[in-house]
Structure formats: structure tokens, C-alpha cells
Amino acid sequence: MIDLNGKVVIVTGGTRGIGLEVVRTFYTSGAKTILFGSKKETVDKALDLLKKEDKIVDGYYPNLNDFDEVSKVVKEINDKYGHIDILINNAGISANKKIEDTTVKEFQDIMNLNVNAMFNMSKAVIPYMKENHGGVILNTSSMVSIYGQPSGVGYPASKFAVNGLTKSLARELAKDNIRVNAVAPGIIKTDMTESLPKEVIEPLIKSIPLGRMGEPKDIANAFLFLASPLASYITGAILQVDGAARN
């Protein structure tokens, strides 16, 4: 059991799917956990669900593309808890349209949330981590950041950028004892994949050597490991959690 008692963690995109499971996992490991969502309604819904599970966490819904707003909320959290130890940049959106069907705005929206918001959150927390003599920043990448995908070019492009940001910040912040890593999930059982038709999902599963889709808990556990002292000499890594899928 990994013990993060006393650590303060922020999870963006923490209201559903992988992000919500990350919140559960870190809370269970003893961390003081704060989730971020896109709007008040989804944050309140997640907080109510967690409360029914006897998990009491904080929730906020800043515009992640507004650095001033992000900075204000991050300062509020640091003032309340006294430190911020772990940031998990999980918020993001996907895409699957061909380039000729993708509008310029749709491409920009993907880059704004998947890359710019990650930059804003990291920039906001780093000064507090430096004051606290260290910290951990973890980013959600994707298997398509390594292999690309046949359509929806904005999504893999953004995840290639996530990998670049991860590796570069790891080198820049190592002297400050701030580790930066990413988790690259494969095909994970979420609301989106569960809604796919049987004829679509079965061939996907057959393409995975381990013979199954991943569970959100598989990804949450990878984040937990990378956030823990067990990974104290790991930084700049892109950890593939995909059942050996190589597509």
C-alpha cells in the first residue's frame, strides 16, 4: 500500500472516467485531494458521489485556459493547505474527424485544453512546489502520442506536445526536486468505449495482447506509483499502460 498521507494533490479533469478514479485512488492513499472540473454542475455531481463513498474532497471549476483564474485558485489551495505536492494534468478532449472535416476552432479547442491548460496549471503550481523544495507533476498522454491515429489529427498532435512538455520540464525542474512524468493509456473501459458497438469494440480487444481493455484503476495505479517515493529516480518518462497494444 502506497501511503501519501499529508500530501496535497490536484487532479484536473477529475469529475469522471479516469480522472475520477485517480481522485478515489489518491484519496484512499491518504492524500488531501482536490478535483477540478469544467463546470459547477459536474464538480458538484462528482463531490456528491464521492461523499456517498465516504470520500470528502474539495472541488473547483476554473477556466484552465485563463492563467489568471488558474493562478488565483491555485493560490487559494496553497493558502488553505500550506503546500501543493502533486499535480495531475488529466483534463482533455479527444477527436476522430478527418482533417477536411475538422474546423480550425475544433483544432484550437483541442490544443487549448490538452496543451495550453496543462502549461497554465504547471506554471501556476511550480512556484509553490519550489517553495516546498519539491513536488511531482504528472500528465495524461495517450498511446496515440507514440503511434498516431488514422483520423482526428488534433488529438495525437496534442499528446505528442504533452510528451514534449513532460520530457522538457523534467530536465528543467530536476534541480528543484520536481519530477515530471506522463502516463500514456491505451484502450480503457470508460463511458465512451462502453457505448461503442460490439462489432467495433471486439476487434479492438483482440488487438491487445493482454486480451482485455484497461480499467480506469489501471491508469490510476500508474499515476499513484509515479507520484510515490517508489518512483523517486524516475522523471521524464512516458509510461505506457496499454496491455502491449501497438497500433
Catalytic positions are: 155
Q: Which three cell numbers stand for residue 116?
A: 495550453
* Pairwise CA distance, residues 243 & 204, whole Å: 12
Amino acid at 246: R
Query: Rounded CA gap, 229 and 235, in Å?
Result: 12
Q: How many residues does the chain have?
A: 247
Q: Which SS3 state, helix, strand or coil, does residue 16 take?
A: coil
Angle subtended by helix axes 17-28 and 40-52, to nearest 10: 40
Q: How far apart are CA 14 and CA 26, in angstroms?
A: 11
